[in-house]
Amino acid sequence: MATIKSLDDLRKMKESLQSKINLREKGEDPNSHVQIKVAMATCGIASGAKTVMEFMMEELEKRGIDSIITQTGCMGYCYAEPTIEVTMPGKEPVVFGYVDTKKADEIIEKYIKNGELVDGIIPMNYETIDKK
Amino acid sequence: MKDLSLHILDIIQNSLAANAKLIEISIDENERKDLIEITIKDDGKGMSKEFAESVTDPFTTTRTTRKVGLGIPLLKQNAERTGGCLTIDSQLGQGTIITAAFKPSNIDCPVLGDIAGVISLTVSGNPSIDFVYNHKINDNLFTFNTKEIKEVLGEIPINDNSVYKLLKELIQSNLEEIESIGYKT
Ligand SMILES: Nc1ncnc2c1ncn2[C@@H]1O[C@H](COP(=O)(O)OP(=O)(O)OP(=O)(O)O)[C@@H](O)[C@H]1O
Ligand code: FES
Ligand SMILES: [Mg+2]
C-alpha cells in the first residue's frame, strides 16, 4: 500500500475503507461494538496511557474486533493509572487499573473475546467518568 | 512527562475538560532561532484573569479528585529549565491560549516524541471535537484540519479504528518530508 500523504490519497482509500467497514458490520447489530475509555489526565499520561491507547487502537483493529476507543478525563484512581473502562455490548462498564500493553493484551484476549474476568478490576464507586 | 508530545496531549485534555469544540495545536521548530514554540488554543470556557495568573501554582485546580493540578506547572517547569517560558492568555467565556517555548540546544530540553501518534489518537478519541494542527519545521509548514478530513471521509466516522492508522501515516509522512527540506533560503 502506498503511503498516505494528502487528502487526495485519503479520498482514494475511501472505497476500501467503506467495504472493510461494511464487512465488519454485516450481520452485526450496530451497537454491538466494544466501548473503551482511556483515562487521559496528567497522571494517566505520565504513567503510560498514551501507549495503552495506541496498543488498543492498533490491536483491536488487527484482531478484527469492532470497537470505539475514546479519551476521557480523570477517573479518580491516580494510584492505579493507567486505567481504562471497558463496556461490552449490553453489559455494565468495568474499570481496569495498572494497564500496560501486557495487561491490555490479556484484557483483549480474555475479557473482550471470551468474557473471562482478569485481574486488575477496580470496584466501581465513582459517579461519572468524566467528572474531574 | 517524558517528551513534549505527552505535554501536548496533557494540555489538550485541559481544553477538552473546559468543553472546547475547536482546539488548535501549533508547533514551530526553528533551529536558527534555537526555539521550539508550542501553542494550544481552545474555545473552551476560559479562566478569569486572577485564576489564570495563579494556575502555574500546583495548588490551583478545579479538580475534585485531588488537591493539586500538575499539568500546567509541569510544562512550565520543563520549559523554564531549558531557558524558555510559558505564557497563558485566557478569557472567561472566550477560550484559552497556552504557549510554551523551549530552547532545543539546552541538554534539559525533552525530545518532541511521537507527535503524529498523539495527534491521531486525540482526533480518534474525541470524534465530535475539531482539531487544527499546524507544524512548522524551519521554513516549512504542514497543516492538518479535522474539518477537511471529515469532509473527505463523508459517512465514514473519523474515529473508525481503520482511519486512525491512516491519519497517523498522513501526519508522519508529511513531517518527514518537511523535516528533510530544510530552509528555503
Ligand atoms: N484550557 C483551559 N481552559 C479553562 N480552564 C483551564 C484550562 N487549562 C487549565 N484550566 C484550569 O486550570 C486548572 C489547572 O490546570 P492543570 O493542568 O495544571 O491541572 P489539572 O488539569 O487541574 O490537573 P492535572 O493536569 O494534574 O490532571 C484546571 O483545573 C482548570 O481549572
Ligand atoms: S489522573 Fe490521577 S486519578 Fe485521574
Ligand atoms: Mg491538566
ipTM of the complex in this document: 0.92
CB B52 within 8 A of CB B88: yes
A14 vs B125, B156, B177: nearest CB: B156
Per the CB < 8 Å rule, is A73 touching B17? yes
Q: What is the pLDDT of residue B148?
A: 97
- CA torsion sign, A114 to A117 to A118 to A124? positive
Q: Is the CB of A38 under 6 A from ligand 2?
A: no
% of chain A at pLDDT higher than 70: 87
Provide the residue-wise pLDDT of chain B in tens; the chain has 185 residues.
999 999 999 999 999 999 999 999 999 999 999 999 999 999 999 999 988 988 888 777 777 766 667 899 999 999 999 999 999 999 999 999 999 999 999 999 999 999 999 999 999 999 999 999 999 999 899 999 999 999 999 999 999 988 999 999 999 999 999 998 877 66
Q: What angle do CA B86, B92, B94 make, to 5 degrees?
A: 85
Cell numbers standing for residue B161: 479504528
Put simply, the answer to whether B161 touches A69 (Cβ < 8 Å) is yes
DSSP for B114-139 reads: -HHHHHHHHHHH-TTSEEEEEEEETT
Identify the pLDDT of residue A131: 45
Other residues' Cβ atoms within 10 Å of the Cβ of residue B105:
11
Query: What are B100's three cell numbers?
Result: 510554551
C-alpha cell at B86: 510559558
User: Does B95 contact ligand 1 (Cβ within 6 A)?
Assistant: no
Report pLDDT for B66: 66
**B110 within ligand 1 shell (Cβ under 6 A):** no
CB B168 within 8 A of CB B117: yes
Task: Name which residue leads in pLDDT, A87 or B58.
Answer: A87
Mean pLDDT for the stretch of residues A20-29? 70
Mutate to test the pocket of ligand 2, among A38, A40, A43, A52 (most ligand atoms within 8 A of CB): A43
State pLDDT tens for residues A34-80.
999 999 999 999 999 999 999 999 999 999 899 999 999 888 887 89
Instruction: Look at residue A98 and tell me whether its pLDDT is greater than 90.
Output: yes
Domains and CATH numbers, chain A: 29-131 (3.40.30.10)
The pLDDT value recorded for residue A60 is 95
Half-sphere exposure of A77 (CA within 13 A, CB side): 28
Average pLDDT over all residues of chain A: 87
What is the pLDDT at residue A48?
96
Residues 136-165 of chain B with CB under 8 A from chain A are 148-149, 152-156, 159-165
Confidence of residue A29 (pLDDT cuts 50, 70, 90): low
Domains and CATH numbers, chain B: 4-182 (3.30.565.10)
Q: In 3D, which of B5, B3, B2 has the Cα closest to residue B133?
A: B5
What is this structure's pTM? 0.93
Q: Answer yes or no: is pLDDT of A132 > 60.
A: no
Under 8 Å between Cβ of B17 and A132 = yes
Going from the C-alpha of B50 to that of each of B39, B86, B99, the distances in angstroms are 21, 16, 18
Q: How many Å apart are CA A14 and CA A23, to the nearest integer?
A: 14
For residue A112, list chain B residues with Cβ-Cβ distance below 8 A: none
Where do the DSSP E strands lie in A16-117?
Answer: 34-39, 67-72, 84-87, 94-96
